[in-house]
Amino acid sequence: MSDESATASSPEPWPAPLPWQRDWLVRQLREGDRAHHALLITGPAGLGKKTLALHLAQALLCESPQADGLACGACAGCGYVAARTHPDLRILDLWKFEDDGWEPADTILIDRVRALVDMTQSSTFRDGRRVAVIAPAERMNAAAANALLKTLEEPPPGTRLLLASSHPGRLLPTVASRCVRVVAPRPSVAAASGWLAAQGVADPASALAEAGGMPLAALALAEEGGRAERSAWYDALSQPRRLVPAAMGARIDAGGKDERKTRLALALDAMSAWSSDLARAAAGLAPSRLPGRSAALAALAPRVATIALCRYHRAVLFQRAWVAHPLQPRLVAEALLAEYRTLFP
């Protein structure tokens, strides 16, 4: 593997600050050197935890911070951080650098953690601090997580470790216990809707509802291609007797391995939102994720086997949690669709 220190630590552009995170960052920075060396930032997927960790890292490495501690965005340190080339920063995410360029990764492997540990044990290049961001932290494999333990327990002076996780329960207990767990801030509906509107989302309220109130997830859902694909899945789920699992599975079985996993993730998200709101409809409640589909959900509610529906929803969530790992995307979707049909005796 090529040396990542010689290039940007990810092909992703530096994210813009999220307005609802500012006060949280200020409070954390106010702690100064009293702050714990390792934070585990938790919260649902799509809330912006990685963005939060990255901007905290930038503030910690800023050479001319603002009065509230936030990064100035103009100094050399901020420039290096934004370019992901700061020598005292390591970002371990789901990208890996191979000889022919950047590729998406399913897991964070031990060699990347070893490079992080080496960075913490060497002399700093600029301001005496070293910062590492690991997001999503639960995607470290066991060897990588174990390699991080000594640094978590006995960090060199000036070292800050920022872990972000949507599923902290999947972290090794020995890793989680060495961190201070903090919850990422969640914006109000008004704040999230306003931000989505500023990003050009035409119907921010619907996108936010479908995403379960998670603004970054809502932004991704608002993309035109994904919106049309999810609509096709909702149409199919609304007619279980006419649903043909093989036909819907064929929608997933296109493109390369990564594209098939992306299509499966989209399908699983649609099944999760649908089954969640179908359970609400069966209980006499209004849908929370798909208010525009309330008529179809209400028509199905009297026919569904409620206990079996709850088991089905858990099965969908389980498959969504493991979607990045080796699997057969089409077969996963077809099995879940076949199970869905059995909910309507």
Average pLDDT in the 170-185 region? 97
Q: What is the CATH number of domain 4-183?
A: 3.40.50.300
Domain boundary assignment for the chain? 4-183, 223-341
**pLDDT of the residue at 324:** 75
Average pLDDT in the 32-40 region? 93
Q: Who contacts 150 (Cβ-Cβ below 8 Å, separation ≥6)?
A: 117
Is the pLDDT assigned to residue 269 strictly greater than 60? yes
Q: Who contacts 331 (Cβ-Cβ below 8 Å, separation ≥6)?
A: 249
User: What is the C-alpha to C-alpha distance for residues 115 and 124, in angstroms, rounded to an integer?
Assistant: 14
- Which position has the higher pLDDT, 13 or 322? 13
Q: Which helix (H) or strand (E) holds 132?
A: strand 130-134
Q: Which helix (H) or strand (E) holds 55?
A: helix 49-61
Give me the amino acid identity at 122.
S
Q: What is the pLDDT of residues 289-313, one digit of tens each?
A: 999 999 999 999 999 999 999 999 9
Query: Contact, 100 vs 87, CB < 8 A?
Result: no
User: What is the C-alpha to C-alpha distance for residues 303 and 230, in angstroms, rounded to an integer?
Assistant: 23
326 — pLDDT class (breaks 50, 70, 90)? low
Q: Which helix (H) or strand (E) holds 183?
A: strand 180-183
Average pLDDT in the 195-201 region? 96
Instruction: Give me the count of residues in the chain.
Output: 345
What residues are paired with 181 via a beta bridge? Answer: 40
Q: Who contacts 299 (Cβ-Cβ below 8 Å, separation ≥6)?
A: 238
Q: Which helix (H) or strand (E) holds 96?
A: strand 95-98
Q: At what angle do helices 245-252 and 257-282 cross, to 10 degrees?
A: 140
Match 């007797």 to its residue by tokens. 241
Q: How far is CA 307 from CA 179, 275, 279, 312, 314, in A?
A: 38, 12, 9, 9, 11
pTM, rounded to two decimals = 0.89
Average pLDDT, the chain: 92
Average pLDDT in the 97-120 region? 89
